Amino acid sequence: MPLPTKLGYWKFLRSYRGVKTTLQRAGRIYARYGFSPRQLIGSISEFIDHLQAQGCSLTLPVTAQVVSKFPRVFRELSRTGVEFAVHGLAHLDYTLLAPERVERDLRQALSVFEQAGVPVSGFRFPYLRCNRALLQILERLPFEYDSSIPCFWPKHLDILRHGNGVLHRMIDQYQPTSPERVPVLPAAQGPLVELPVSLPDDDILFDRIPAKRRNVVSGIWIAILQEVHARGELFVLQLHPERYRFLKNALAAVLEEAASLGGVWIAPLGEIVRWWKRRREWKPALSFADGRVEVVVDLSPAFQAALLEPARREQPEPDWQAVVRDGHYRYRGTLLPFIGLGEGVGTGFESRLRDLGFYTTREFPPRQTSVFLAREPEEDNLRLWLRQLRAHLPGPLIRIAPWPEGYCCALAITGDIDALTIQDFFHRIHEY
């Protein structure tokens, strides 16, 4: 595979960003970065303080190249409790590079963070450009999570109707998933957990489309938060520290909305992933007597269990009971409230069901579990499939809620650091 040339980045800018926007942006970039890193470090520190004043923290993916130039800065910042993640060795579109080169770069990036004394457990690809092959490379490295797959919430973006060419090219570049088809939740992929990034981000709203008024940006982000809250899902918000000072009021408005909605868990990505891994491991204790099964779930790891029940039209009285007592969820009934899987269901779909909070089993005969899937559904719209499952549920299903007790959705504030000085920013063009 030929290695990309220096022109790779120009080509990327021309195809996806447009020459005019790129030049306009160059002027704005000059105002945001200085020739010394002081200006941007000031923004990063204010950003961190903003979150810490609210009793929470954030995740800042940063390139190893930037860390290697300013190791003391990042070591000291990481001691304040902020989480850093790896954002590539340099700010490259890794989909254009040979796999061997990608793996070498990423291993080198990890050793830069290690030598600088900056702990990391996660990754985000520059430009959110990634694919299955790149994620497989990440799986071989000691990362716990990736947060690069974008999902796009278009509903409140009226500006889209005006047919903004730049925005359409950007969306085309990101190829985001649709929250109307896929629940926006962390998803385990092998040893990695993928945390979808919600778009539009600050880059799209503030630089690419004329949503200049700050209240337009906060209005769109608040609308996403409200939807995420109603669905009990995850909002990974992206605000680059270079725009923090322009959008701090929009961020304040989002945090205020989170407080007024209630039950919003604001946490860095690493903390969300540690919870997610623990939650995926939930295991019931089973005992059988008199043709009935008793299922006990220990709720002490902050699990919240609920029973999805079938429409009871045909059955006046359900033949099961479920109670919460002494920190345990106890179910008694004739059917196991789980999803039984046949040979036609692969481990990938099984993993999605676990992410959704269901307990899956291959140990019991089809008639013993409330739901049995002989094969994977043909429907690739997972949200629609779930709605259909619930509408025609043959028996009760235990589901562990996505978030720890006391929370109904999660919000992670993230901000990629691509450069600290204007020289670094423009150096990206020559990085190939």
Q: Which residues pair with 295 in a beta bridge?
A: 286, 331
- Nearest approach, Cβ of residue 238 and Zn ion (Å): 9
Asked if 418 interacts with Zn ion (CB under 5 A), we say yes
Determine the angle formed by the axes of helices 244-261 and 214-231, rounding to 10 degrees.
Answer: 30
Residue nearest to Zn ion (CB): 416
Residue 46 CB: number of other CB atoms within 10 A?
13
Q: Are 277 and 374 in contact (CB under 8 A)?
A: no
In the complex with Zn ion, which residue's Cβ is closer, 201 or 355? 201
Q: In this complex, which beta carbon is closest to Zn ion, that of residue 418 or of residue 424?
A: 418
Q: Does 416 bind Zn ion (CB under 5 A)?
A: yes
> Interface with Zn ion by CB under 5 A: which range of 173-181, 264-272, 343-351, 416-424?
416-424
Size of the site for Zn ion (CB under 5 A): 3
The answer to whether the bond into 200 is cis (omega within 30° of 0) is yes
Shortest CB 126 distance to Zn ion, Å? 5
Query: Using an 8 Å Cβ cutoff, are 373 and 340 in contact?
Result: yes
Q: How far is the CB of 428 from Zn ion (least distance, A)?
A: 9
DSSP per-residue string spanning 323-361: EEETTEEEEEESSEEEEEEEEES-HHHHHHHHHTTB-EE
Is residue 118 a contact partner of residue 78, using CB atoms and an 8 Å limit?
yes
Q: How far is the CB of 381 from Zn ion (least distance, A)?
A: 31
Whichever of 105 and 418 has its CB closer to Zn ion, that residue is 418
Q: In the complex with Zn ion, which residue's Cβ is closer, 126 or 179?
A: 126
Least separation in angstroms between residue 418's CB and Zn ion is 4
395 near Zn ion (CB under 5 A)? no
- Do residues 154 and 173 touch, judged by C-beta distance below 8 A? no
Q: Which residues contact 259 (CB under 8 A, 6 or more apart)?
A: none
Taking the CB of residue 23, how many other CB atoms lie within 10 A of it? 10
Contacts with Zn ion, 233-272, as mask; x by CB under 5 A: ----------------------------------------
Candidate segments 285-293, 321-329, 367-375, 413-421, binder of Zn ion by CB under 5 A: 413-421
93 binding Zn ion? (CB under 5 A) = no
Instruction: Give the residue with the Cβ less far from Zn ion, 240 or 352.
Output: 240
Residue with tokens 């997610």, as numbered in its chain:
276
Residue whose tokens read 């769109």? 220
Please say which residue, 125 or 282, places its beta carbon nearer to Zn ion: 125
Tell the smallest beta-carbon distance from residue 125 to Zn ion (Å): 9
Binding mask 122-141 for Zn ion (x = CB under 5 A): ----x---------------
Please report whether residue 350 would count as binding Zn ion according to CB under 5 A: no
The reply on whether position 194 binds Zn ion by CB under 5 A is no
Closest CA to 374 of 339, 417, 412: 339
- Of 227 and 416, the one with the shorter C-beta distance to Zn ion is 416
Shortest distance, position 87 Cβ to Zn ion, whole Å:
6
How many beta carbons lie within 10 A of that of residue 47, not counting itself? Answer: 23
Burial of residue 274 (CB within 10 Å: 0-12, 13-18, 19+) is middle
Element (H, E) at 25: helix 19-32
Stretch that binds Zn ion, among 4-12, 16-24, 334-342, 415-423 (CB under 5 A): 415-423
According to DSSP, the β-strands at 360-361 and 369-375 are unpaired
Stretch in the footprint of Zn ion (CB under 5 A) among 17-25, 158-166, 286-294, 411-419: 411-419
3-state secondary structure of 151: strand
Q: Does 355 bind Zn ion (CB under 5 A)?
A: no
Binding site for Zn ion (CB under 5 A): 126, 416, 418
